[in-house]
C-alpha cells in the first residue's frame, strides 16, 4: 500500500500544473508563463529580521519572495514583485538553514511574504516539512489572499498565523478596484471567502487594510464593515501609504490625516479590535 502524500508532495504537483490562485494557469507554470511568471524555482529578493510587522510578531524573520499574483498599480515592491527571478534562487534546504539561524538570533515568527507567497507554497511547505520540530517559532503567511481553496487546504496544517490583506472593496461598477487597480478578477468574493475559510480552521487571523487616498467609500468603509462581521479576526490598519513616482490619478497623492482619522473613527464605531 502506498503512503499518503504529504502536503509538500501534493503542493509540488502545482509546479507543473498550477492552481494555487484563481488564475488557474495550469501547465503554463512549467515555462514560467503563468500570470505571475514564477517558474519551478523560487527566488528570494531579501530576508531579514524585520521590525516593521505587527507588535506581536516583532522582530519577524521576513522572507520576501520575488513574483506576485497581483498587479497593483501603486506597488512599492515592483522591483521584485514583478520580476520573479530577482534575487537569489533558493532550495528548501537553504531556506530551512536560514530560518534556524534567524530563530537563534531572536526572531519571534517566520513570515512568508512577497510579492506574494502563493506561487511559492511548494517551497514553503517543503521547507517547513524539512524543519519539523526544529522550528519553534510560528509560521506566518502574509499574503494578498487571492488564493484557491486548494492552496489553503495545502497550508492548513503548516501555517500558524495568517496575515491577509483586504485592500479593495466590492464592485460598485463594471470593475471593482481589486480588478481595475490590482488586476485580480472577482477580488472581493475570492479574498473574503479565503479569510472565512481560515477563520473556520480556528487559526489566528490578522487582516491588514491599507488606507489608500481617495478610496474610503469604495474600499475602506466596506472592508471595515465586513471585518466587523468576523468577531475572531484582528484588524491592522496600515497608514503608511506612499505612492511610487509612476502612480497616476488619485493614488498618486498622499494619504490625508483626515482620511486616517475617518478610518480610525469608523473602526471604533464598528468596535473593531485594532492591533498595532
Ligand atoms: S500562482 Fe502563478 S502560476 Fe499559479 S495559478 Fe497563480 S498566477 Fe498562475
Best mutation site among 13, 20, 124, 148 for ligand 1 pocket (most ligand atoms within 8 Å of CB): 20
For residue 69, tell me if it sits in a domain.
yes
For residue 247, tell me if it sits in a domain.
no
* The pLDDT of residue 276 is above 80: yes
Tell me how far the alpha carbon of residue 28 lies from the centroid of ligand 1, in angstroms: 9
Number of domains in the chain: 1
- Model confidence at 245, pLDDT cuts 50, 70, 90, reads confident
The torsion angles phi and psi of 232, rounded to 5 degrees, stand at -90, -5
For residue 180, tell me if it sits in a domain.
yes
pLDDT recorded at residue 244: 80
Residue nearest to atom 3 of ligand 1 (CA): 34
CB distance 159 to ligand 1 below 6 Å: no
CB distance 21 to ligand 1 below 6 Å: yes
pLDDT recorded at residue 1: 61
For residue 88, tell me if it sits in a domain.
yes
Tell me how far the alpha carbon of residue 36 lies from the centroid of ligand 1, in angstroms: 6
pLDDT recorded at residue 252: 85
Q: What are 256-271's pLDDT values in tens digits? A: 999 999 999 999 999 9
DSSP string, the chain: -PPPPPHHHHHHGGGTSB-SSTT--BGGGGGT-STT---SSEEEEEEEEESSS-GGGPSEEEEEES--S---TT-TTHHHHT-TT-SEEE-HHHHHHHHHHHHHTT-SEEEEESS-SGGGHHHHHHHHHHHGGG--SPEEEEE-----HHHHHHHTTT-SEEEEB------SSSS-HHHHTT--TTHHHHHHHHHHHHHHTT-EEEEEEE--TT-IIIIIHHHHHHHTT-TT-EEEEE------TT--GGGGS---HHHHHHHHHHHHHTT--B--
Tell me how far the alpha carbon of residue 73 lies from the centroid of ligand 1, in angstroms: 19
For residue 259, tell me if it sits in a domain.
no
Contact status, residue 83 vs residue 66, Cβ threshold 8 Å: yes
pLDDT recorded at residue 247: 80
pTM over 0.75: yes
Share of the chain above pLDDT 70, in %: 100
Residue 55 has which C-alpha cell?
507588535
Residue nearest to atom 4 of ligand 1 (CA): 18
Best mutation site among 23, 37, 41 for ligand 1 pocket (most ligand atoms within 8 Å of CB): 23
pLDDT recorded at residue 53: 86
For residue 63, tell me if it sits in a domain.
yes
**Residue 190 vs residue 73, higher pLDDT:** 190
State which ligand 1 atom lies nearest to the alpha carbon of 19. Answer: 5
Q: How many other CB atoms are found less than 10 A from the CB of residue 86?
A: 19
Tell me how far the alpha carbon of residue 27 lies from the centroid of ligand 1, in angstroms: 10
Mean pLDDT in residue range 235-259: 87
Min mean pLDDT across 20-29, 51-60, 116-125, 126-135 is at 51-60
* The pLDDT of residue 2 is above 80: no
Tell me how far the alpha carbon of residue 1 lies from the centroid of ligand 1, in angstroms: 33
For residue 258, tell me if it sits in a domain.
no
- Model confidence at 254, pLDDT cuts 50, 70, 90, reads confident
Residue nearest to atom 1 of ligand 1 (CA): 119
Tell me how far the alpha carbon of residue 256 lies from the centroid of ligand 1, in angstroms: 35
* The pLDDT of residue 205 is above 70: yes
Averaged pLDDT of the chain: 95
Q: What are 26-37's pLDDT values in tens digits? A: 989 988 899 999
* The pLDDT of residue 67 is above 90: yes
pLDDT recorded at residue 134: 98
Domain that holds residue 38: 7-211
CB distance 197 to ligand 1 below 6 Å: no
Tell me how far the alpha carbon of residue 260 lies from the centroid of ligand 1, in angstroms: 34
CB distance 72 to ligand 1 below 6 Å: no
Min mean pLDDT across 107-121, 181-195, 219-233, 239-253 is at 239-253
Identify the CATH number of the domain in which residue 179 sits: 3.20.20.70
C-alpha to C-alpha distance for 257 and 14, rounded to whole angstroms: 44
For residue 39, tell me if it sits in a domain.
yes
- Residue 63, beta-bridge partner list: 47, 112
Best mutation site among 37, 69, 182, 190 for ligand 1 pocket (most ligand atoms within 8 Å of CB): 69
Amino acid at each position: 500500500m502506498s503512503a499518503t502524500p504529504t502536503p509538500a508532495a501534493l503542493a509540488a504537483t502545482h509546479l507543473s500544473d498550477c492552481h494555487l490562485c484563481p488564475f488557474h494557469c495550469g501547465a503554463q507554470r512549467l515555462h514560467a508563463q503563468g500570470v505571475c511568471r514564477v517558474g519551478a524555482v523560487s527566488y528570494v529578493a531579501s530576508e531579514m529580521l524585520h521590525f516593521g510587522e505587527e507588535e506581536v510578531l516583532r522582530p519577524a524573520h521576513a522572507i520576501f519572495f520575488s513574483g506576485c499574483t497581483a498587479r497593483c498599480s501603486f506597488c512599492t515592491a515592483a522591483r521584485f514583485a514583478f520580476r520573479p527571478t530577482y534575487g537569489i534562487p533558493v532550495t528548501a534546504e537553504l531556506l530551512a538553514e536560514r530560518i534556524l539561524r534567524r530563530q537563534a538570533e531572536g526572531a519571534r515568527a517566520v513570515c512568508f511574504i512577497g510579492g506574494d507567497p502563493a506561487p511559492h507554497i511548494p517551497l514553503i511547505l517543503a521547507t517547513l516539512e524539512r524543519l519539523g520540530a526544529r522550528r519553534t517559532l510560528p509560521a506566518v503567511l502574509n499574503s494578498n489572499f487571492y488564493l484557491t481553496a486548494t492552496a489553503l487546504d495545502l497550508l492548513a496544517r503548516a501555517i500558524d498565523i495568517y496575515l491577509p490583506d483586504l485592500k479593495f472593496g466590492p464592485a460598485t461598477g463594471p470593475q471593482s478596484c481589486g480588478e481595475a487597480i490590482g488586476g485580480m478578477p472577482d477580488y472581493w468574493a475570492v479574498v473574503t471567502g479565503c479569510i472565512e475559510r481560515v477563520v473556520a480552521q480556528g487559526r489566528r487571523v490578522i487582516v491588514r487594510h491599507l488606507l489608500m487616498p481617495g478610496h474610503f467609500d469604495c474600499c475602506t468603509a466596506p472592508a471595515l464593515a465586513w471585518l466587523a462581521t468576523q468577531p475572531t479576526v484582528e484588524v491592522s490598519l496600515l497608514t503608511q501609504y506612499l505612492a511610487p513616482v509612476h502612480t497616476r490619478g488619485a493614488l498618486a497623492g498622499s494619504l490625508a490625516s483626515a482620511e486616517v482619522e475617518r478610518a480610525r473613527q469608523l473602526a471604533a464605531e464598528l468596535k473593531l479590535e485594532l492591533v498595532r
